[in-house]
Amino acid sequence: MALSVKREIKHFRQSNPNKNVEFTIANKNTVTLIRQIKNSDVVYLLGGSPSLLKKEMGKVKNLKKLFNKKVVVGSSAGAYILSKYYFSKSEGGIGKGLNILPIKTIAHYDKKFKKELQNLKDYKEKVKTYTIAETKYIVIHSSD
């Protein structure tokens, strides 16, 4: 198990000591991954490479429908792929997510990204744009 995954599980258990939670690591086999999503109450999309995560999760047909009635958490790259568009410093600009939510996102936001934020807001169609500062989060309730 990757170090970042172990760290995330440890943090979750420390902050929720009274919860008995079973963690399942996503399987690379798409059919198995779909079954895992169907059998989960919560799906956590960890950070990393937005383009790689998008490539892998993009293989899942009807992903938005699979996420229906689930808690879906996206950290950094995970938030990016849930978005319609995002700005990623590591990938050098604006990218296209999987459009699970009709939003634009900048994770790890800092005021030094004001220009990038404006560029993202102005990019293509007008949808709500979220900035997520380091260690912060947003909650979006989707009725779709």
Superfamily, domain 3-133? Class I glutamine amidotransferase (GATase) domain (3.40.50.880)
Task: Give me the pLDDT at residue 82, please.
Answer: 97
> What confidence tier does 3 reach under pLDDT thresholds 50, 70, 90?
low
Task: Give me the pLDDT at residue 77, please.
Answer: 94
List residues bridging with 85 in a β-sheet. Answer: 96, 104
Question: In the predicted model, what is the mean pLDDT of the chain?
Answer: 91
Task: Give me the pLDDT at residue 97, please.
Answer: 97
Task: Give me the pLDDT at residue 45, please.
Answer: 92
Domain positions in the chain: 3-133
pLDDT (tens digit per residue) in 20-77: 888 888 999 999 999 999 999 999 998 889 999 999 999 999 999 999 999 999 989 9
Tell whether the torsion through CA atoms of 104, 109, 113 and 114 is positive or negative.
positive
Tell whether the torsion through CA atoms of 102, 82, 73 and 23 is positive or negative.
positive
Task: Give me the pLDDT at residue 10, please.
Answer: 85
Torsion angle of the four alpha carbons 122, 107, 143, 66, in this order, in degrees rounded to the nearest 10: 120
pLDDT (tens digit per residue) in 88-143: 999 999 999 999 999 999 999 999 999 999 999 999 999 999 999 998 889 998 76
Buried b (16+ CB within 10 A) or exposed e, 2-17: eeeeeebeeeeeeeee
